[in-house]
Amino acid sequence: MSTLLLTLLLAAAPPPASKAQQLAKDKAWEDLYLAYSSVDPKGYPPAERKAIAGPLLKGCEALVANDAVMAYSLGERAVAFEESAPGLHCLARAASATEQHGTAEEVLRKGLTTYPKDGAFGLELGKLLLAEKDGAGAAEALGKVPPRSPQAAEAKKLLQKALSLSAEDSQARAQAENLERRMNGEPGPAGGKTKPAIAQDEGDTRSASLTYESGVGEDGMRTRSNRRFVVKYFNNNRDFGQRADYEGRIIATLDEAYEHTRGILGEARESPVDVILYTREEFRTHQGASLARAAAGLYSDGAIRINDATELTQQTKATLVHEYVHAAVDDFCGGADHQLPTWLNEGLAEYVEWRYLGGDGPPVITGNALRNAARSGRLPSLNALSQGALIQTSDPSMAYATSAVAVRELMRRGGAPRLLALIREVGQGTPFDQALQTHYDMDVAKLDEEVKSTLSQR
């Protein structure tokens, strides 16, 4: 073997565990993160993965109070190497400190499932859901804190607050259900009927025909529909109260997706769209195992399809928003959204999802990776992202984020009206390159340069 080839092989070898321990000893936290940010933990034997996770966790815990961004990055890698309870705790704390509440919720739920005897997961999840005014979810989480755990006393106090909030929510939903029945001319609580409410002016598309009708379809799925949405899901032996609670939460989220999208884009989809909610197992059966592992949801064949919708977490809500944007774009294009480059369709959905989660950019770890890729010339080109599913690329998170940054650049040049005009024109048959030149006076190569320049300066 030549000396040059041996040198190259050694340079490509992943850093050993001893390097992580030395960098942690020196408190060189940024160097520690960079050394292990892109290596595959599966390339190490289990003992070494644990030996690397320890120093990464030590950095997370050292920085979480003063540098939550770096703490999050270190915590994310620590959990990638070993999904330990302390690692999940620190990652959740860093996610909360960087206002990534959806990620914090997801991490805490993971910890609660994996380490049910650790009362801190249920307690912290309960606190987070209480802050989001989710009384029922908080009560469920706090109820899973083991009675003899150190967190039991605090969880018991908070449980009363959660139950009170949940009761208020239930009462409000019950009042809404009764109002809905009266508007539909159905029997009210005392058995009497009232005439259906008369819809407002037909031109007022935001207020007409928005009451929901429930039923069971020919395929055995429960349905709840109005002029905007047709919600479908399998009953799964829920009793009436459980169904009403579940449907109420879903409907509230869909209405929120509609209003949020309208707020960002100035308009939303007005024709009805099917929303099919699957458990993880149902999604695997209907969509295939590989897609079930990779996708939180998708829009296909005119329907929004959500994976693992039994738990309506913040991330599930964000996925509903993302897929609703796809449904809206399909409507804007007259059913010809396939004419758009993939990066534009996915980038717009991702950007609106970022805004829903409270930011104008990607999660911290993805943002760091984007900037590094832009500065080192490794950012994927928009032409490379113009065809095919981004979920099938070598780095899906990078592909989605790059697409969303490109859309953000377009939104800064004329806002949503100009972008939607371009989308509609392409849907009507105008080649995308021609429409981009007409509306933005640039080609894709120029937009690529704008994206790289923006990311390199941040």
Do residues 199 and 209 touch, judged by C-beta distance below 8 A?
A: yes
Domains in the chain, please, with CATH?
17-99 (no CATH), 210-331 (3.30.2010.30)
pLDDT at position 197 over 50: no
Q: Count CB neighbours of 110 within 10 A.
A: 16
For Cα atoms 351, 318, 282, give the angle at the middle one, nearest 5 degrees.
Answer: 130
> Which of 439, 434, 407, 406 is closest to 422 using CA atoms?
439
Would you state the pLDDT for residue 184? 46
| Nearest by Cα to 403 from 333, 340, 328 | 340
Residue 137 or 165, more confident:
137
Name the one residue in this structure whose structure tokens are 């929120």: 256
Predicted confidence at residue 230, as pLDDT, reads 85
CB neighbours of residue 367 within 10 Å = 17
Pick the residue with more confidence: 48 or 457?
A: 48
pLDDT on residue 78: 94
| pLDDT at residue 252 tops 70 | yes
424 has a pLDDT exceeding 90: yes
Q: How confident is the model at residue 284 (pLDDT cuts 50, 70, 90)?
A: confident
Q: What percent of the chain has pLDDT over 70?
A: 81
Please report the pLDDT score of residue 214 as a whole number.
63
> Does the pLDDT value for residue 455 go beyond 50?
yes
Tens digit of pLDDT for each residue in 293-340? 878 888 888 888 888 777 777 887 888 899 999 999 999 999 999 999
pLDDT category of residue 411 using cuts at 50, 70 and 90: very high
Per-residue pLDDT at 246 exceeds 70:
no
pLDDT classification of 457: cutoffs 50, 70, 90: confident
3-state secondary structure the chain: CCHHHHHHHHHHCCCCHHHHHHHHHCCCHHHHHHHHCCCCHHHCCHHHHHHHHHHHHHHHHHHCCCCHHHHHHHHHHHHHHCCCHHHHHHHHHHHHHCCCHHHHHHHHHHHHHHCCCCHHHHHHHHHHHHHCCCHHHHHHHHCCCCCCCCCHHHHHHHHHHHHHHHHHHHHHHHHHHHHHHHHCCCCCCCCCCCCCCCCCCCCCCCCCCCCCEEEECCCCEEEEECCCEEEEEECCCCCHHHHHHHHHHHHHHHHHHHHHHHHHHCCCCCCCEEEEECCHHHHHHHHCHHHHHHCCEEEECCEEEECCCCCCCHHHHHHHHHHHHHHHHHHHCCCCHHHCCHHHHHHHHHHHHHHHCCCCCCCHHHHHHHHHHHHHCCCCCCHHHCCCCHHHCCCHHHHHHHHHHHHHHHHCCCHHHHHHHHHHHHHCCCCHHHHHHHHHCCCHHHHHHHHHHHHHHC
Range of 159-163, 282-286, 426-430 with top mean pLDDT: 426-430
Look at residue 166 in the predicted model and tell me its pLDDT: 62
pLDDT band with cut points at 50, 70 and 90 for residue 177: very low
Query: Is a pLDDT exceeding 50 seen at residue 292?
Result: yes
Rg (CA), the chain: 25
Q: Which residues pair with 431 in a beta bridge?
A: none
Q: In this model, does residue 112 exceed pLDDT 60?
A: yes
pLDDT at 278: 84
pLDDT of residue 50 exceeding 60: yes
Through-space distance between the first and last CA atoms of the chain, rounded to whole angstroms: 43
Half-sphere exposure of 174 (CA within 13 A, CB side): 10
pLDDT at 68: 87
Give the tokens for residue 132.
């989001």
Contact 268, 328 (CB under 8 A): yes
Tokens representing 216 are 């069971």
Does the pLDDT of residue 181 top 50, yes or no?
A: no
- Least confident range from 66-75, 103-112, 239-248: namely 239-248
Residue 400's pLDDT band, with cuts at 50, 70 and 90, is: very high
List the Cα angle 421/425/426 in 5-degree steps.
120
> What per-residue confidence (pLDDT) applies to 79?
93
CB atoms near residue 187 (< 10 Å):
11
Per-residue pLDDT for 436 more than 50?
yes
- On average, the pLDDT of the chain sits at 82
Q: Cβ contacts of residue 318 below 8 Å, gap of 6+?
A: 102, 353, 356, 357
pLDDT value at 232 more than 80: yes
**Spatial contact of 295 and 305, defined as CB atoms under 8 Å apart:** no
* pLDDT exceeds 80 at position 204: no
- Segment 127-142 shows an average pLDDT of 84
